Chains A and B, each alone.
Chain A
């Protein structure tokens, strides 16, 4: 290649990537640096004044009561939702992978929650669990309950409703991912196991699970990243308040409330978001390591 042509390619290359780089440069790179800067300051949004306060925002994270509540709510949410959704997705995928008729219909139905916006889903679930909603009515009719439970306004239940909605809506998506990967597992492996007289359960434990390990890592990471940042459902459920009695207050919601509320706590909120990222990275790293080392053979 001649020198001239190569020079032309540099210009072309940068020409092609510059619009995208402009966007990433401003809204990702600059924003990361800016976030760090904000996190060391007290920000007054109205006067635009940034007062340097060192590590104060970070220190406050560990003593702020509401932050602690939000943290434990979020951790509880992750700890319940991620394992259940992963295991359910894996089991359902291996069931659906069997040679059956009507797979397309099933898959289409299972994909519905993935297509639906969190806003519409949350509204539908709030309706289902409302005082006169079908869940309460069903339980009353079957004599499971003597009187309706106010799921939406009872701090004991509010987060659990969101958990069940989240599991219900994400399992099919992860199942589809597993299913796509299962199609790559050669049939001969299962046939060999059949010859050896393996039961369905043994095949699941000894073939399906180990073969899908890389996908499981991916599903776990997606689950962890998604659930730690859960915002939409909590916001819609509580109309942004995190109620009842802070029971649906997640870290992401608390960041939003601090950043865009009336209290000039934007710096504090930014520090929280950085800490949240550190937590997400750490947990993801541990989950990945655990999934790799755990020997199933």
Chain B
């Protein structure tokens, strides 16, 4: 029995390691290709370690390419601003739904429920026409505004405040803090874990968004990294500079990877909450 168990455990490890390699394989190749010369890539060797490692692709992106650094900056700008707005609005709304009694609350509740359920495809075209009417085409507002709140995280914040004891906030109110003061100075700081959880997922969603920046941003210098990478694809008359494209893809992964390693706890928390729905 014991021996059988040991064998079983080894099989499990082999499965896990095999699957890990399977998952890593595309990334390893991307990293490897980003350090190879274009010639070596198209030569089709199967060596994962480049014959003559070179930073050529990275250098080209950062020094010759006129837009690449801008794309990184644009992506960061949209992500940080979008995440900030989301965190404030989602938390305020979730707080009000959990703590305050007011007429029309159930209506708001339904509105939020509808926005969770309706597929994004339906909203795409009317949103575009509205954005166009506002004169916001080719601006970052077109990407941030329609995504300024997230219904799922409003619910998450509501849940957080429902489960969180009121006593501290009541004490603050007795000390003379108004509702807004209580919210910003007491309730928001208390919700740090829930706020961190929604922040990482909202940041990730903005960072990886493709459709909206593709649709709204027509000026190549305004592109985000995702759209920028896609635009690199066939810009030399159908020939794709795989070394540069792979380098750009690798770079686009780095901030998210760092975020994941530093804030791993909150990623896992978010998934647990998603799973509980």
Contact = CB atoms under 8 A, between A and B. Distances in A.
Interface of A: 6, 9-10, 12-14, 16-17, 19-21, 23-32, 34-35, 38, 92, 95-96, 98, 100, 106, 108-113, 115-128, 130, 132-134, 136-138, 141, 168, 172, 176-178, 180-181, 200, 215, 218, 225, 228-229, 231-232, 235-236, 239, 252, 255-256, 259-260, 266, 269-270, 273-274, 276-277, 280
A30 B125 CA distance: 12
Contacts of A239: 233-234
Interface stretch (B40-48, B59-67, B163-171, B189-197): B40-48
B104 A14 contact: yes
B114 A127 contact: no
B145 interface: yes
Nearest to B42: A132
Contact of B130 (A34, A116, A123): A34
A13 B90 CA distance: 14
Contact of B256 (A25, A116, A127): A116
- Looking at B13, B124, B130, B242, which has the most chain A CB atoms within 10 Å of its CB? B124
Contact of B146 (A23, A127, A277): A23
A218 B273 CA distance: 12
A95 B90 contact: no
B102 A35 contact: no
- Looking at B95, B233, B275, which has the most chain A CB atoms within 10 Å of its CB? B275
A200 B7 CA distance: 13
A32 B114 contact: yes
Contacts of B124: 255-256, 259, 273
Nearest to B102: A13
A180 B268 contact: yes
B117 to A, nearest CB: 8
A112 B23 contact: yes
B92 A127 contact: no
A34 B130 CA distance: 10
B154 A31 contact: no
B185 interface: no
B277 A218 contact: yes
B146 A115 contact: no
20 contacts: A13-B102, A14-B102, A17-B93, A20-B148, A27-B127, A29-B114, A32-B118, A35-B122, A112-B27, A113-B23, A117-B252, A118-B226, A120-B229, A120-B252, A130-B242, A172-B23, A176-B271, A218-B277, A255-B125, A274-B122
Given A23-B145, A180-B275, A137 B92 contact: no
Nearest to A276: B121
Contact of B19 (A12, A28, A92, A128): A92
Given A12-B102, A132-B43, A28 B23 contact: no
Contacts of B104: 14
Given A27-B146, A31-B130, A113-B23, A20 B92 contact: yes
B69 interface: no
B97 interface: yes
Contact of B210 (A108, A118, A137): A118
A31 B154 CA distance: 20
B129 A34 contact: yes
Contact of B123 (A28, A200, A231): A28
B21 to A, nearest CB: 9
A109 B95 contact: no
- Looking at A28, A128, A200, which has the most chain B CB atoms within 10 Å of its CB? A28
B108 interface: yes
A24 B154 CA distance: 12
A32 B123 contact: yes
A123 B125 contact: no
A79 B175 CA distance: 60
A123 B233 contact: yes
Interface in B101-160: 101-105, 108, 111-112, 114-115, 118-130, 145-146, 148-149, 151, 154
Given A13-B96, A113-B23, A128-B26, A273 B274 contact: no
- Looking at A20, A26, A109, A130, which has the most chain B CB atoms within 10 Å of its CB? A20
B214 A235 contact: yes
B55 interface: no
Contact of B12 (A32, A95, A236): A95
A34 B126 contact: yes
A34 B123 CA distance: 9
B37 to A, nearest CB: 13
B13 A32 contact: no
Interface string B15-28: 11001101110110
A54 to B, nearest CB: 19
Given A12-B102, A116-B253, A116-B256, A137 B44 contact: yes
B148 A229 contact: no
A181 B29 CA distance: 33
A178 to B, nearest CB: 8
Interface string B64-105: 000000000000000000000000011011011100111111
B34 to A, nearest CB: 10
